[in-house]
Amino acid sequence: MTQSDNFLRNSDSLNTSNIRKYLPKNNRKVTSRFSLSLIRVYIKEYCEVSTIQGLRYIVISKSSVERLWWISVFMGCVMGCSYMTYLVINRWITTPVLVTLATKETPILEIPFPAVTICPETKISHNCLNYTKVMIAMKKKNLTNISNRESQNYDYMAPLCELKNHAEKIKEQERKHLLDRHFSYTSRSLGDYAEFLSRCKALDLNLNAYCQWMGNDVECAKILTPLLTDEGLCYSFNMFDVRDIYSDINQMKYFREGWRNPDWHPDEGYKKGKIEKTYPRRTFLNGAKNSLIVAFFTNKSEIYYSCRDFSLQGIRVSLHAPTKIPRPSQVFFSVGLNRLTTVSVTPTLMRTTPAIQMYDPTKRNCYFSRERKLKYYKLYNQDNCNMECWTNYTIQHCGCTHFYMPRDQHTKICNMSRNDCLNEASISYPHAIFEEHVKKNIGTSYCNCFPLCTELKYDAEIATGEWHFYNSDEVALDGMRDWFSNFELLVVYFNIGNYICCLLNSKEENN
C-alpha cells in the first residue's frame, strides 16, 4: 500500500499540513490535486446521506441521462425556492403594513353621527323664475314677455340645467368672447351665484320643513346649514362649518355660519371628558328612536321637469364624514316625491397603530390628516384632495372654475362663454387620470390622493315606500294638504350599537 492509499483511507484526519508530509516537497501541484479529490469525497458522502430529495440519485446513478435529469430537477427546485424567497422579501419591503380586525368592539358613541347633505331637486322658486316659460320663449326667439330679470335668472340656471336648453345663449356668448378676449370677465358674472341661489330658493326651512333629532322636535334652521355644492344650494346636518374645512385662501362666498370649533378630530376622536353638547353630534344608542328625521314639503307650483332630462323630482341625499365636502351630483341616493325613505347606517372605521407613522406614505398608502397640506383645505382627506386636483385641472384647462369650486383671489368663476370648455374639461379629466396611471403606474393615487390612515365611512341600507300623506287619520297634516301637494320624508339611524373597526399595523407588530 502506497502513501497515497493511506492518505485516502484515513481522510477524516487529514488536512493540508498532513498532505505535505506524504508528498514530495518539490511537487506542489500534487497538493492541489489531492485537495480537490478530498472535496469530491466529502461532497459525494454528503449527497449519499442527505435527506434533500434528489441529491443521492445524482451520485449513485449509473446512467448519464438519469443523472442529468436529477440535476435538472434539483436546480429547478433551487431556483423556484429562490424566487419565492425573493417575493416574500420584496413584499415585506414594499408593503410593510397589514389590515387586521380589532380584538374588541367599539361603541358608536365614540364616532360622530354621519353628516347628511340634502339637496332639493327643485332649485329655485317659481316666483323668481318660471323656467319652462322662459325656455319656450328662448327656443321660439320671442322674448317680448320676458323681462331682463327673468332672462338673467334663466342664464344663472345654465350650470345646473341641461346645456342644450341654453345652447343659443352660450353660442352668442362665445361669439362675443371671440370678438373681445376680455369678455368672459366683463360679461354677466357668476360671482354672486350663492346670493342668487339663496334669494331664489324654493325651500324655506322655517315653512317647508320638519325636523326631529333623537326623538325631539327641533327647528330645521338650527340643525341644517346651507351649503353650496355642485347641485346648487343644499342643506347639511352634522357637518363641519365650511370655514373649518376650507383654508383662508379660498374666496368662495359662504352662507350663514354653522357650529364652529368642533370637538372631534379624524385622527384623535372626541375630546376626552366632554360628553354633553359635543359637535359633531353623536348618538349613544342605535335604532330608529335615536334617529334624524327630515321632511321637506314642496309647493304645487314649484315642481318643473324642463331643467333636466330624466330628472327624479324630490331630494337627493349624501352620507359622508363631517370633515368632507360632498359632491351630491356624483355620490347620492334619491328620495322621490311622496316617499318615505329609511336609511340604516353601519359605520366602518380604519385605525392605525403608532408604528405606522414611521413608514413613508407611499409605503403605507395613506396619509394622516395633518401630514399633507392642501392649498384650499385645512384638513386632508381623499375627497378634498381629489376635488383640489379637479379644480387645478379645470383652471389649467379653462383659466377659471365652476361656481362650486374653491379658488384664490386670482381665479374667476367661468361665465357662459366658457361652458363648453368646462364640459370638455369634465370629459377629458378621466382620460388624464388614465394616462397618468399608465405613465407612472400609480393607480388610484392620481395627484397623490391617498386615503386617510384613520378614516371613517358609513355604509347604508336603504328602504323606501309610499307615505300616505292624504290619509285622513294623519290629523297633524290637515292644514298642509291644501298648500303642499308633495313631500319627502327621510329617516337616518345607526343599526348597530357596537362595531368592530379595522387596524392598520406593521408586519413587525403583527409577528
CATH of domain 108-123+202-381+451-510: 2.60.470.10
In this predicted structure, what is the pLDDT of residue 343? 97
In this predicted structure, what is the pLDDT of residue 91? 74
Pairing of strands 339-352, 502-506: parallel
Give the cell for residue 358. Answer: 414611521
484 Cβ partners below 8 Å, 6+ apart? 208, 297, 298, 299, 300
Distance CA 435, CA 458 (A): 31
Q: In the block, which residue shows the cell 386617510?
A: 452
In this predicted structure, what is the pLDDT of residue 418? 84
104 Cβ partners below 8 Å, 6+ apart? 500
Q: What is the 3-state secondary structure (H, E, C) of 87-110?
A: HHHHHHHHCCEEEEECCCCEEHHH
In this predicted structure, what is the pLDDT of residue 417? 79
Residue ranges of E strands in 250-409: 264-265, 269-270, 292-299, 314-320, 333-336, 339-352
Rg (CA), the chain: 36
Q: How do the domains of the chain map onto residue ranges?
A: 3-94, 108-123+202-381+451-510
pLDDT in tens, 357-411: 888 888 888 898 888 899 999 989 999 999 999 999 999 999 999 999 999 999 9
Residues of the chain with pLDDT under 50: 1-23, 25-26, 181-187, 442-445
Distance CA 286, CA 495 (A): 6
Give the cell for residue 236. Answer: 347639511
Distance CA 265, CA 268 (A): 5
In this predicted structure, what is the pLDDT of residue 498? 93
Pairing of strands 484-494, 339-352: parallel
| Distances in whole angstroms, Cα of residue 16 to Cα of each of 1, 24, 154 | 21, 14, 102
Write out the DSSP string of 35-57. HHHHHHHHHHHHHHH--STTHHH
In this predicted structure, what is the pLDDT of residue 11? 44
Whole-model pTM? 0.78
In this predicted structure, what is the pLDDT of residue 19? 47
**Nearest CA to 436 among 425, 452, 448?**
448
Distance CA 290, CA 292 (A): 7
Helix (H, G, I), strand (E, B) or coil at 116: strand
In this predicted structure, what is the pLDDT of residue 71? 85
What secondary structure letter does DSSP report for 271?
A: P
